[in-house]
Chains A and B, each alone.
Chain A
Amino acid sequence: MSRMGYESLPDTGAVAGPISKTDDEPANSGDRFYRLPATPVTTISASKSGLTLDLHSLWTYRELLYFLIWRDIKVRYKQTLLGATWAIIQPLIMMIIFTVFFSKLARLPTEGIPSALFYYAGFSLWSFFSNAISNGANSLIGNANLITKIYFPRLIIPSAAVLAGLIDFAIASILFVPLLFYYHISITWRFLLIVPLSILITTLALGMGILFSALNARYRDVRYALPFLLQVWMFISPVIYPSSLVPQEWRWLFILNPLTGIIESYRASLFGLAVNWWGLGLSVVFTLLVLLFSAYSFRRMERSFAEVI
């Protein structure tokens, strides 16, 4: 029962009143007392080296995950005049800046896609990704009061921070409707691909957010280093330029970045271009590896969070 630090039996639901079977309980104890189960509901001991992801306890606490996502969304645009419109304004302004300076002045190619569309697709995806990672990375520190006072699977905190960003991404994506219409882009079956692609980039953001949040809990350096890292990551991904601009001999390195396949496929599916399935497959594999690695690292570090944060 105590192979791991903490283990719980399945949640008994709303735990009011007597449940489960009696053992050696005196017969006259009546309903006043809760009747003891035969085995402990919870065993607490020092954790051994063997670690599992403990997906079961995550499932038990899914309602808390929901509430934390809901809180993050509710709080985000409190006391702002424009509210959720900010989710559109940010990538829109980036789109305008890049269309004017990079496309019109610097004449950077956009692979035949109207430059406004090219940049908006890149930036709406990128700003979701980078915001999700930085919110995720700061989430444990921001919720230190919860971590030092209440028990729950800690993975919930960075997960909620990352997932809360999806709503902004969805709002920003609404602008594609008028944009595609205005530029007379016909919608193909590939358009459906944006759903699995969104799940894929969310998974990647989840992996990175989880990893950085755990590192940040111990080393506050992460908070300062992360903006640079994200900046570099943007420049090595096809956010503001197409991958065709990358010299052939460097293409293999470029495609090792899991974001490359995702962004390229995302544009391809929106604008009805050919999808590089091989590159996308590589992204899927890397993304899953990142998530698995992060989740295990997180579980290793989480036992000391309450003490180091």
Chain B
Amino acid sequence: MRPIIKVDNLCKQYRINSLDQSHLRYDTLRETMATAVRQSLTRFTGNGHSASETLWALKNISFEVKPGEVMGIIGPNGAGKSTLLKILSRIVEPSSGYIELYGQAGSLLEIGTGFHPDLTGRENIYLNGAVLGMSRREINSKFDEIVAFAGIERFLETAIKRYSSGMYVRLAFAVAAHLNPEILIIDEVLAVGDSDFQKKCFDKMGEVIRSGRTILLVTHSMDMVLKLCEHAILIKGGEIQKMGPAEDVVNYYYSISDPTAPL
């Protein structure tokens, strides 16, 4: 079967501590002008290269995902998992390499993106849905389901800044859970709210998975990888350390991690 996601030699390079830092951090015009002057001076006086230090957030990442597969991505903090998801979601550009997606992709890097505190629950469902890529017709047809899932029927016309934090995340998850692209890119947004709602979220995820959608899931919960994913990728230091059946990858990850550190 042909893959639905094809990632080929993907690299992402960041420059740190360099004179050219201005491109990474927001700063003032004055600093940029000063930098520009300094840089042109080094070009004349020095060897042409500034003392720029580069950081490879991702290095030669290649993998494929088959349609309907649930792929877990694991690794320690700072391994490059989020960078990978951001590139897959087209939020940041890769430095080199390419990705081919053979389907519409939707990403959930955070729940409640685009929620506005002054708007009501009803208004936010539409806004959040639109931001996540749903059409108005699609939201209309799923509206009741979303409201029922979040359990906020009584507070539909209340501004969400008056919501409890539990209600807020429930609503946010409910909208996200009803997203319907062929490829779903998820970054640890599962398991919100109290234990009852967590179970509901987990069941919903199972439902989404059984519907045959392709899912990329970044998580720190090995439990979740073992329960939900067939395959997994371990990323460390921007490189793929291991790739294969979820169990093998998780066991390998355990074996190389500090056994005393909590996972």
Any A CB within 8 A of the CB of B237: no
Given contacts A46-B95, A67-B126, whether A306 and B86 have CB atoms under 8 Å apart is yes
A interface bracket (residues with beta carbon within 8 Å of B): 35 or more
Prevailing SS type, chain A contact patch: loop
Minimal beta-carbon separation of B198 from chain A (angstroms): 22
* Binary per-residue interface labels of chain A (83-122) against chain B in the complex, 1 for a CB within 8 Å, 0 otherwise: 0000000000000000000000000000000000000000
Residue of A nearest to B91 (CB): A306
Stretch at the interface among B72-80, B97-105, B226-234: B97-105
* Binary per-residue interface labels of chain B (73-113) against chain A in the complex, 1 for a CB within 8 Å, 0 otherwise: 00000000000001111111111111111111101011001
Is the beta-carbon distance between B114 and A151 smaller than 8 angstroms? no
* Binary per-residue interface labels of chain B (46-77) against chain A in the complex, 1 for a CB within 8 Å, 0 otherwise: 00000000000000000000011000000000
A149→B92 CA distance, assembly (Å)? 10
Stretch at the interface among A34-42, A189-197, A260-268: A34-42
Is the beta-carbon distance between B87 and A33 smaller than 8 angstroms? no
Any B CB within 8 A of the CB of A6: yes
Is the beta-carbon distance between A74 and B91 smaller than 8 angstroms? no
Is the beta-carbon distance between A14 and B138 smaller than 8 angstroms? yes
Residue of B nearest to A304 (CB): B23
Interface residues contributed by chain B, number (CB under 8 Å): 62
Can you name 26 A-B residue pairings with CB atoms under 8 Å? A5-B93, A14-B137, A14-B138, A15-B103, A32-B68, A33-B67, A34-B4, A36-B67, A40-B6, A40-B100, A42-B99, A44-B100, A46-B95, A63-B130, A67-B127, A70-B127, A75-B118, A145-B110, A146-B113, A147-B91, A148-B91, A149-B110, A150-B113, A219-B27, A304-B23, A308-B26
**Known pairs A23-B2, A36-B67, A70-B127. 20 more at Cβ < 8 A?**
A2-B98, A6-B90, A14-B180, A15-B182, A32-B212, A33-B67, A34-B67, A44-B88, A44-B98, A45-B96, A45-B97, A67-B131, A71-B127, A78-B159, A149-B109, A151-B89, A152-B131, A152-B133, A217-B26, A307-B92
